[in-house]
Structure 1
Amino acid sequence: MKVAITGLPQSGKTTLFKALVGKDFPVSFEKENISDVKVFDQNIIELSNVFKPKKTTFATVTFVDLPGIPSGVEQAKRRNEILSSIRQFDALITVIDAFTKDDFETDIKIFENDLILLDLDVVEKRLERLQKEKLTQDKVLEQKTLQKFKDALDSETPLRSLELTDEERLATKSFGLFTLKPTLYLINISEEKIPQRSKIEEALRKKFNYKNTEFAVIPVLLEKEISQLTEDEKKEFLSSYNLEKEAINEVLELTMKLLNLDVFYTVGEDEVRAWLFEKGLNAKKVAGKIHSDIERGFIAAEVISYEDFKSVNFSFKDAKSKGLLRIEGANYIVKDKEIVHFRFNV
């Protein structure tokens, strides 16, 4: 899964990228900055303490910091180049500057409307071409879906707010429409505005009541500074600001939510690992996240929830005796935070 970090120049998006990476990272302001970011998971730490594996692997999400989107007619070509690159991503994080300005709601509306206009241009051109083509069953579905899209875009509604069937999504997937992408608006505030975070978030959710849209209000520069500290230094630093935890973890949690991702664990002496998968996948499909051979030769899955496993002090023997360790078939829907061992034969 790849997530684009977008925004105007000087909005704080590259500072956010540095905070997510959590270490000194050479960055460019003209080209993309790319890094896999670990999804912090206390469960993985506890499982590693129990199994003491040779290797511990956290789940990761790939974040790409795009160059700042310039404004002005003279920058139209560069602006379109950057915006076009967004099509390849699974979700967007758009950083809005509330550090130096107060009217950030206007910036959200302008950015949303720009993407709506770009999508509308693609949809209208494709509808015009379809009128000249012989319509197969697939093209009829495409035409109906695009007309639905046009009606929404004409009313300034982002496409991610629509209820779509799997067939409608598949019929229009190749267009890479901007407003279909799940979006997190990250409002970059100064330290002085930290007490207003909840109030700002609530107001934004009411004003921009779109589906598959989240808001996070974060002092990005402060979070970048925290990310460079040791664990002991972090605790002291957070305490001085009356903060319970790093706000940057909220960005990862909301990104996971927008991408519709859950996590499962595999454990053993060689490795304890967290794996991401799309909510609602069955055990056979989830096995494919590890390796296609395991999916192809799937026999069964041994499954236990993390909380159940913890309740028996991480003992497989006790879990079996209490009936907590289950054998599930290929169609079992894997749940979030389950430990899974796959039986397979290739």
Structure 2
Amino acid sequence: MINVGIIGATGYVGIEIVRLLQNHPEINISTVVSQNFVGKKISDVYPNLRNVFDMECEELDIDKISDKADIFVTALPHGVSKEVIPKLVKKNKRIVDHSGDFRYKRVEVYEQWYNTKHGMPELLEISVYGLPELHREAIKSAQIVGNPGCYPTCSILGIAPLISNKLIDKNNIIIDAASGVSGAGRSSDLSYSFCECTENYKAYKVATHRHTSEIEQELSLLAGEDIFVSFTPHLAPMKRGMLSTIYANLTCEKSASELIELYREYYKNDCFVRILDEGILPETKHVAGSNYIDIGIVVDKRLNRVIVLSAIDNLGKGAAGQAVQVLNIMCGLPEHTGLLTPGLYL
């Protein structure tokens, strides 16, 4: 068994990782860290785990916990990781990090979009962007993996085949995406309270959302040139799930059926990418609770425009499920191990 420690285990992402890993056939959760619940059983914080996973939460003491695990998953706020990751690296631990701190190739991009100094730019040289469908080989031997954000995962995978095959105008890409409220984390902020969110649908951080830079970085790498996108996130009145609608102008005439075949060829080795038949579109209820991404494609012949719709669970393929997929790759296991649970639907 491979011992894995989870730091930040009682946030929504952390507890979803616990839920997935406690039943993993090859991975053992050897320590769970939560500064807010030190000494409490994790099943007292999340009673759904009672008699399933009752481990006691530890304090964040790197010297104390480092010998307990081979790999650590950190689910900490942006910036907090800089107090933790370097210490784990010095102890030769491998890390899957959920902050934005290790998702970037260029430190100046991070500092511009996060409006803070990075603090450990030298570690970017040993970190890998954790999107398996694009960086599987690099993930295998990485010491640090920056697990992607949910919006970038949903958007990048939705448009990657078009960018890679140079089928769209790179100057006019529009992405509208909607996320469930759990994407904001386990926050007590008023704007995420029930009465503020229910029966409401709103855009936020229009043209300024930090995940824009993550999307642009990965699409630019695929294109071999700078790509800029117009990205607008929305908050939807649901607990979990994400739907991205991507608009791009085709550079040649292509039918939906032709593009569907192209997508299926592009993702033929990716078990969690499901390309839907023509006329069928993704829905969040079909992926919630799973690590799948569903992608549907429509071509508006009047405008010679392709419309790609992609759906994920923001806590699954958008965070915790993808982290387990990454862990499997790092450990040399089949990447679907412990992840073949279908969506909840209801």
Q: TM-score, normalised by structure 2?
A: 0.29
| Structure whose residues are more often helix by fraction | 1
Q: TM-score, normalised by structure 1?
A: 0.29
Q: Which has the larger radius of gyration?
A: 1
Task: Point out which structure has higher relative CO (alpha carbons under 8 A, 6+ apart).
Answer: 1
